[in-house]
Homo-oligomer: A and B are copies of this chain.
Amino acid sequence: MHAHSDGRPTERKLMARKSSRSTSFDVAALAGVSQSVVSRAFTPGSRIADETRTRVLEAALKLNYVPNSIASSLTTKRTNIVALIIGNLDNPFYVHVLHTFSRRLQEQGRQVLIFTVEPNSESDEAIMHLLKYQVDGVVLTAAQLSTRMISLCHDRGIPIVLFNRYIPGSDASGVRCDNVAGGALIAEAFLAAGAQNFALITGDLKGTTSGDRVRGFVERLLDGGVKRSNIVEVHGHSSYEGAFNATIKLIRDKNRVRPDALFGVNDIMAMGAIDALRHRLGLRVPDDIMVGGFDDIPEGRRLPYQLTTVRQPIEQMVNETLSILHLDDPTEPIARGIDRPIKGRLIWRHTIPVPPAYRGEADVTKSED
């Protein structure tokens, strides 16, 4: 930096401004080495004598020096920041997802820049922001995104992967639960338990997730000989409240027979449905009507619910996502058009009577997660 004189020119910056952060130059001066040595001292595999490194580190400690990542990003072109766009924190499932990503990424020494977008609004604006911050990668979950933005990211060399969502035919990559198969799992459970009239509470209509679960569910029922007219669909808006209200309307509809099985396309909706059934409609679950969910959120395991559901293997899905991102070697070309469906598993609890064939599988108490 500027003028400094003779032997130990440490004073200058130290006296400078009250809260000024010290730089590698200050440390270099104090340690009596060149600035690049300081840089090396903080770079794991670099050529530097152990003895020098400790001396530098000591000096750094004395000056409360912390390397400026912003500055280093400028040259390395890596920020070690991953953006997470998340569209629905009201569903504990996504909180869990957030937590899992955050933990993993922190373990790797990466930072998470979070963007919450309101349900049903696009994330395009968020993308513009994170583009400015040169993030190393983007994970998008429970939110919409235009394909234009996806290619904008890709063009700039920023990989983006959709979590629990995919855009057929686009070149966005995604990791998701095998929702079709999962929906079928619930259908099978209902069938095995002897249900005959079915209701579905659907979620977000824009994504593929809800649609796939519905499809897998319905197809399996039809395969099982159920008539299409014995399957009703109502819209639960992916939320507890939406499902709660939809359930009340559904059951009070005098024009149709009451379903004896209800599939909440995600757990939080299944919970809303259960509460409506029990506390508003005076019905017993599963005696009067059985209920199935999807996700396996911890809340669904609690005693008031004990929800039979399909477990999404979050850890595994997060790992897949991260591996597609290729965070640690940016030279790797961006993975395009990958659609990685991962099988979920049926967890038997108490909202669907366990048929004899399945006894012993039931997870009656708490989680083992």
Contacts and interface: CB of A to CB of B under 8 A. Distances in A.
Interface of A: 1, 18-21, 64, 66-71, 73-74, 79, 81, 89-90, 92, 95, 98-99, 102-103, 106, 109, 111-116, 126, 128-134, 152, 154-157, 240-241, 275, 278-280, 298-299, 302-304, 334, 366
Given A74-B71, A302-B275, A303-B280, A66 B131 contact: yes
A334 to B, nearest CB: 8
Nearest to A79: B70
A21 B157 contact: yes
19 contacts: A1-B155, A19-B154, A19-B155, A19-B156, A19-B157, A21-B157, A64-B152, A64-B156, A68-B134, A74-B74, A89-B98, A90-B298, A103-B116, A106-B115, A109-B129, A111-B129, A112-B113, A112-B114, A304-B304
A365 B74 CA distance: 54
Number of copies: 2
Contacts of A157: 18-21
A114 B82 CA distance: 11
A363 to B, nearest CB: 16
Given A279-B303, A279-B304, A99 B70 contact: no
Given A155-B19, A156-B19, A157-B19, A66 B128 contact: yes
A297 to B, nearest CB: 11
A220 B63 CA distance: 50
A190 to B, nearest CB: 24
Contact of A67 (B103, B116, B132): B132
B113 A106 contact: no
Nearest to A156: B21
A115 B280 CA distance: 41
